[in-house]
Structure 1
Amino acid sequence: MEYCAFLRGVNVKGTNMKMADVCRVFEDTGMDKVSSVLASGNIIFSSGDNTDNLKSILEKAMSSRFNYDASLFILSELQIAELIKNNPYEQSNDLHIYIFIGNRGVEEILLKEFQQSLKTELERGKIVKNAFYWQVPKGNTLDSTFGKVLGKKSLKDQFTSRNINTIEKILKKMS
């Protein structure tokens, strides 16, 4: 089965790694057809194993190789296609749309945090089929109240997010 591993915290805040080296770690753990999409920690690969085993194997290997507490989330090609299909927002040149990928139930935590945050006029947050989607005006991502909440230590290993454009590139490369 073909999967994408979404690594959390890659190439930010001092955790820098080359995607070729990350791909080598995946290959060394027995993954097939390994490739990366962009430099933000999106690794496409094939395996006959289940996602729970893959997560454990890959986090351990990444932590060992790069000397950091690796956290990643694994989705199948079908799950990624569903994320794109379920996007509740219309794409616009003035807005970013982020999809959050994480532990089961994290979407409820994110929605609660979003509802409690101050918002810009066009900022929206919504859960669709167990995934949290966030629309924010370009240029406001890191300055928004919700954007700052995303760095909370209590949420550290619960999720990662990707711009919908990145998710579309990943699916295109998988297809």
Structure 2
Amino acid sequence: MSSYAVFLRGVNVGGITIRMADLRQALEPRPFSGVKTLLASGNVVLSSELSPAGVKKEFEECLREAFGYDAWVVVLAADRVGELVAACPYPADDTSTHTYLTLGSDTEVLDELYQAGTALGGAELTRLGPEALAWLAPAGGTLDSPFSKLASKPKYKASTTTRNLRTMVKVRDAAVRSA
């Protein structure tokens, strides 16, 4: 049995509202155990005998069937979440900046996003591994930052999602408690 963190894309924003209690209930008949939701932004820790790809497939099918939307998730081994948090070179949020991790389920798409982001110039952007990159945004201006606008393009929607470093720390901590 392996522990995983599952990050849902676009939940409780843009008209897709899922109560976390409803999500837990929808996941009950699936091959997952120890399902815990964190915050209302679509963060789940769970255990499963499935591979990460199997968890992704099963989880996305569940979301599509139960909630009727074109769902995408990024699945990471629980210990990998801790490694990514530890590898992030940027500070915890302060009064001037916020730190984010963009997670990806397709390395080639994340490679493209990273290359496009570095071409923007001036963006604080670091590749953390094949499934994640870290970046800084000005406090209060995250959605208006050039990298945020780039990452929100439709071509990245099916394979990436972004979380604040604070959220990643909470997911890491919950995954450690679940393991």
TM-score with structure 1 length normalisation?
A: 0.92
Select between 157-166 and 19-28 the one with higher mean Cα deviation: 19-28
Matches within 5 A, 1:4-153: 4-93=5-94, 94-102=96-104, 103-117=106-120, 119=122, 123-130=123-130, 131-153=132-154
The 1-side partners of 2:92 and 2:167 are apart by: 13
Tell me how many residue pairs correspond in the alignment: 172
User: What is the deviation of 1:118?
Assistant: 6.0
Residue 96 of structure 1: SS of its match in structure 2? strand
Q: Which structure 2 residue ranges, 5 or more long, are not aligned? A: none
The 1-side partners of 2:140 and 2:129 are apart by: 28
Name the structure, 1 or 2, with higher relative contact order (CA <8 Å, separation 6+).
2
User: What is the deviation of 1:16?
Assistant: 0.6
Q: Which structure 1 residue ranges, 5 or more long, are not aligned? A: none
User: What is the deviation of 1:92?
Assistant: 4.1
Divergent runs of 4+, >4 A: none
TM-score with structure 2 length normalisation?
A: 0.90
Cα deviation code 1:68-121 (max 9, x no counterpart): 0110111111110110111011334121111111122333222222123364xx
The 1-side partners of 2:27 and 2:170 are apart by: 20
Residue 107 of structure 2: SS of its match in structure 1? coil
* Percent sequence identity over aligned pairs: 31
Kept in 2, the 8 Å contact 1:86–1:129? The answer is: no
Select between 84-93 and 55-64 the one with higher mean Cα deviation: 84-93
